Amino acid sequence: MKAANPLYGLMAEFANERALLEATRRTYAGGYRRLDAYSPFPVEGLAQALGRRRTAVPLIVLIGGLTGGLGGYFLQYYAMAVDYKFNIGGRPLHSWPSFIPITFELTVLCASLSAVIGMLALNRLPEPYHPVFNVPEFARASVDRFFLCIESTDPVFELPETRRFLESLNPIRVMEVSS
């Protein structure tokens, strides 16, 4: 039934970050889960208010870093001690101290690349089309207004009740977002 609904969700507009934070907390407490908040600058505590507790980014970074480090070390070990044995200054073929800088750099490189790519992937970015931009007022989300959007796919979402609920949060206005 919901797929036939051309409505993406309902959006409330707020004048400042405190109102947005308070509204988000109450919306979450009201049982809504599929919601997102938009503000021109990072608001401390907003992610928690939206129910975002944990993210998988640290784990992705750890795996990336370990892969880079182990891979970098193995690359050098294989090249220097197995595949192309080359006597440098009479040192052992497996001279681990000289492998450390590359191992370290590859750890950092792979960890930071996985952080960026992992963050983008988990945020499903880049996203060329998003319904929230169908609302003309939303342009001010990157200037001086704060928005809270409840998506129509939310199990608790019912058009008249949700609209009344959002209006009870004292927004500047409540708008319908077409998908």
Partner 1 sequence: MNESLRSRLNRVQSAALVVGVAGLALCVLGAFVSGRQQFFASYLFGYLFWLNLSLGCFGIAMLQHLTGGRWGFVIRRFLEAGFMIIPLMALLFVPLLFGLQDLYAWARPTEVAVDPVLQNRANYLNPTGFIIRAVVVFAIWSSMAWCLRKWSLQQDQTTDPAPTRRLRTLSGPGMVIYPLTATFAYIDWAMSLEPDWYSTMFPVIIVIGQFLSTIAFSIVMLGLLRKEAPFAEVVSTTHFHHLGNLLLTFVMFWTYISFGQFLIIWSGNLPQEIVWYVHRIADGWKWIVVLLALFHFFVPFFLLLFRANKQRVPVLMTIAGFVFFVRILDVFWMVAPSFHPTGIRIHWLDVAAPLGVGGIWIAAFIYHLKRRDLLPRHDPRLQPVIAHAR
> Least distance to partner 1 from the beta carbon of 91, Å?
8
Q: If residue 150 lies in a helix (H) or strand (E), which one and from where to where?
A: strand 146-151
Establish if 100 lies at the interface with partner 1 (CB under 8 A).
Answer: yes
Which range touches partner 1 (CB under 8 A), out of 70-78, 79-87, 96-104, 145-153? 96-104
44 vs 127 by CB, closer to partner 1: 44
Q: At what angle do helices 96-122 and 57-77 cross, to 10 degrees?
A: 150
100 vs 139 by CB, closer to partner 1: 100
| Token code pair at residue 148 | 């809270």
Contact between 136 and 13 (Cβ < 8 Å): no
- For the chain, the 3-state helix, strand and coil shares in percent, each to the nearest 5, are 55, 15, 35
* Given 48, 98, 123, 168, the residue binding partner 1 (CB under 8 A): 98
> Least distance to partner 1 from the beta carbon of 36, Å?
25
Establish if 89 lies at the interface with partner 1 (CB under 8 A).
Answer: yes
CA 167 – CA 24 distance, rounded (Å): 13
Contact between 147 and 13 (Cβ < 8 Å): yes
97 vs 126 by CB, closer to partner 1: 97
> Least distance to partner 1 from the beta carbon of 107, Å?
12
